[in-house]
Amino acid sequence: GVLIPHTPLRMSSGLGGLNKSPHGVVVGLCQLQLPVIETKDQLDAQVDRVCALVGKARRGSTSMDLVVFPEYMLHGLSMDVCDEIMCERDGPIVARLRAACVQHKIWGCFSIMERNPAAPESPFNSGLIFDADGNEVLYYRKLHPWVPVEPWAPGDLGVPVVDGPNGCKLALIICHDGMFPEMARECAYKGAEIMLRTAGYTAPIRDSWVFTNQANAFQNLMCTASVCMSGSDGTFDSMGEGMFCNFDGGIITRGGGRPDEIITCELRPDLVREARLGWGVENNIYQLGHRAYVAVQGGARDCPYTFMHDLVAGKYRLPWEGQGKHTDGRSR
């Protein structure tokens, strides 16, 4: 007889959510035009733009569950820590974003630069997700600022995983976080089926952006949905590059660099669950903690990784520690 290989579980984009399945989650990634924000008036006007784009997302897709905006959506790439353009989690700026979700009956993921009363010169780079009733369901502070450029304080809230639209398990990381495989692994380990990654990255990071989004998906049997700011502010050029990756690492849908375009895709968390339960080969998120389970009943459960032990013990030290040129302060 002829051996017919098993066809792997594979999702399509559902034509961007036009043919939504009962188990699907339709996500829109807004490649927001990179702004210049230097004053409170400019900040207020940018909030209006974002709220208007929430409305555009709903009008453009009645099936969309969640619209995602990039890191720096209200701030631009100036790295300005002026108090006038900082935000608060429960302040009036965030209240307007929350109200837009209620008005248009859609979940929204947003970025703010959050005041840090303990160290005003080092605000937090924070992300918020609201449901369609305006309830805050996720609040995250970026763990890995893009040093030595970014001045933000290191996040202190861990990596939350929450119940998202249509019963999915949802996580959010921000920009440089996604360059650390431990971040995506933490999301998946806590149950995330869809990991959002918002960013302000510019064109030199394009290749790294693509392969880390794919690797974060494949290594964890998890869908990734990632988006950058887009266009130019006269100094920097952000790249857009909204992209959705399947749990096998393949790219489902990918945008380009057109500012304010909303890239849409239907993700299937039910297929993620099926793969996590049914895959043997390359079920890496399980096998990390159950090494060689063919030879050892239940798999080896020890931790053979020196860097993990040292990090937990506060002794993380590279062989070239102390020789690096960039270890403190800012590059500009």
Q: β-strands 237-239, 25-30: how paired?
A: unpaired
Q: What is the distance between the alpha carbons of residues 322 and 12, in angstroms, rounded to a whole number?
A: 48
Among 51, 87, 109, 175, the one annotated catalytic: 175
Q: What is the distance between the alpha carbons of residues 164 and 131, in angstroms, rounded to a whole number?
A: 8
Two structure tokens written together for 299: 């798999």
Q: What is the distance between the alpha carbons of residues 47 and 182, in angstroms, rounded to a whole number?
A: 33
The edge-to-edge listing of strands for the beta sheet with 194-199 is 161-163, 169-174, 194-199, 223-228, 243-245, 251-254
Grouping H, G, I as helix, E, B as strand and the rest as coil, residue 130 is: strand
Q: Does 266 qualify as catalytic in the annotation? A: no
Among 20, 71, 114, 245, the one annotated catalytic: 71
Q: What is the distance between the alpha carbons of residues 169 and 167, in angstroms, rounded to a whole number?
A: 7
Two structure tokens written together for 202: 């510019």
Type of residue at 16: G
Contacts of residue 268, defined as CB under 8 A and 6 or more positions apart, other chains included, come to 11, 21, 23, 24, 25, 223
Q: What is the distance between the alpha carbons of residues 104 and 82, in angstroms, rounded to a whole number?
A: 32
Q: Does 190 qualify as catalytic in the annotation? A: no
Quickly count: other Cβ atoms within 10 Å of residue 239's Cβ.
23
Backbone φ and ψ of 251, nearest 5°: -80, 125
Among 30, 51, 142, 150, the one annotated catalytic: 142
Contacts of residue 22, defined as CB under 8 A and 6 or more positions apart, other chains included, come to none
- Tell me the DSSP string of 288-311: TTSBTTTTSTT-B-S---HHHHHH
Per DSSP, 15 falls in state H
Q: Does 71 qualify as catalytic in the annotation? A: yes
| Residues identified as active-site | 71, 142, 175
